[in-house]
Structure 1
Amino acid sequence: MRAHYLQHAPFEGLGKIEDWLISRNYVVSATHLYRNEPLPDLHGIDLLIIMGGPMSVNDEQQLPWLVAEKAFIRKALTGDKQILGICLGAQLIASALGQNVYANGQQEIGWFPVQGNTHHNGAAFHFPEQVTVLHWHGETFDLPHGAVPLASSLGCQNQAFQFGRSVIGLQFHLEATRELVAGFVDADGQDLQPAEFVQSAQVIQNVDQQVLTGTTELLDTLLDYLTIREQKV
């Protein structure tokens, strides 16, 4: 099995996803778009992972590779691919499915709870009733037509969605590690202006280990679900 990931910034790597891929014996390849690396042939890719980044989905003029990336994602969505989008990655999936990406009512940066949607019919991934996760975003998206909303928060309505059986978008970062969080703070610390849903660098970096462990366990469960071809409901 082969997993390929799209990386948009040096400090937004796989994090805990890498551990899961190694444990499941995936062959892993990558496109570092910030280095203008070419996109691969989709043939032979089983799992596509679209990482986060500080740019906007709408920055096509400044970052022309976004045009090619969106076309690549649209093609992947029409194929038999398992796809996970994280933060910017989820916004790119929503955009590829024809939805708008725009400024959220407020920035959401730090460790805040999301509430799982318990009202869908069971044919989608089940988030816990409430779980604390890492957020770092100022934009949001409209829910793609036909997608199932999986989670929301006080700061942002569309936190996670599932499209079909094998596409999941997350507005937050289940892949977080202490090293990854430190990289976020170093690169984007200017975003940490006091606000209702913005925590200080100290609070973000001093997250309780139990919270980190919980997000990793949820990540593993979600990836196991996403990569099972036939799921009993």
Structure 2
Amino acid sequence: MKKPVLLVVHQKHSDPGRIGMRLRTLGYPIEICRHACGDPLPESMDDYAGTVVFGGPMSANDDHEPYIRNELDWTPGVIESGTPYLGVCLGAQIMARAYGGSVAEHPEGQVEIGYYKIRATQAGEAWFPEEMCIFQWHREGLELPECATLLATSDHFQNQALGIGANGIGIQFHPEVTEQMNRRWLIGGAERLTLPGAQQPDEHHAGRAAHDPFVDDWVDGFLADWLKTDQR
């Protein structure tokens, strides 16, 4: 039996969505760690095939939160152990900060909430298609640490995906979000739809219909390839 993948989520009812479902389809059990709610992070990753650190409404700059400080301290140890690490949105920003990068709002107040186009860099062509429109929900972006490689970019937030070492990947976008999750976020985060650049609900629904079938096909291969980066 394959080792489980550790999924670190940041709210009591957070859902790993399509990533959790597809990992199970690939034959990996999943273990959910709600560290922000008190679950401890493992001291060793020996018992896990990899870890995915998901997003949340908090900021990677929230140093007053013990769980943010813990994840900043914990992340380099995971990556340097050779364990596959995938950071999604907040998880990518924590990854960047942990290695000396920064996280901040767009200088013009822009956000990405809805479907936006990303483009693979030459270094990222093994991971991402040349272009794809994919779901986003963030108001902060990240600056790359010196040790990172840019894997994908976009017009408003240049740094859309980063790699650290052979086994650490961070993505600013949300391949895990299902239609049900999208609708739930639109209700729970309705106030954010007034921010500059945010798409409105009808644009979300149209974007999902137009672009999500491609994302749905892409994500299985992406996750399988990511788990093959195990350097242990």
Say yes or no: TM over 0.5. yes
Determine the structure 1 residue equivalent to 2:113.
109
Tell whether the 8 Å contact from 2:119 to 2:153 is kept in structure 1 after alignment. Answer: yes
Residues 148-167 of structure 1, C-alpha deviation per residue, up to 9 Å, x if partnerless?
Answer: 21111111000011122211
- Any unmatched runs of 5+ in structure 1? none
Aligned residues of 1:162 and 1:168 also touching (Cα < 8 A): yes
- Indicate the residue corresponding to 2:180 in structure 1: 179
Structure 2 residue runs of 5 or longer lacking an equivalent are none
Q: Aligned partners of 1:48, 1:81: CA distance in 2, in Å?
A: 8
Q: Classify the secondary structure of the residue corresponding to 2:7.
A: strand
Shift of 1:130: 1.2
Instruction: Report deviation, 1:74.
Output: 2.1
Q: Return the letter of the residue paired with 2:212.
A: L
Aligned twin of 1:153:
154
Match of 1:97 in 2: 99
Distance 1:4 1:194 in 2: 33
Q: Give TM-score scaled by structure 1 length.
A: 0.89
Partner of 1:222: 222
State the 1:6 CA deviation: 0.7
Name the SS for the 2:119 alignment partner.
strand
Deviations 1:99-155 (A, max 9, x none): 11111231111111111113x3x8x73421210011111111111223221111111
| TM-score normalised over the length of structure 2 | 0.89
Q: Percent identity between the aligned chains? A: 27
**What code does the residue aligned with 2:83 have?**
K
The count of corresponding residues between Structure 1 and Structure 2 is 226
Give, in angstroms, the shift of residue 29 of structure 1: 0.8
Letter in 1 for 2:222: L
Distance verdict in 2 for CA 1:66–1:167, change over 3 Å:
same
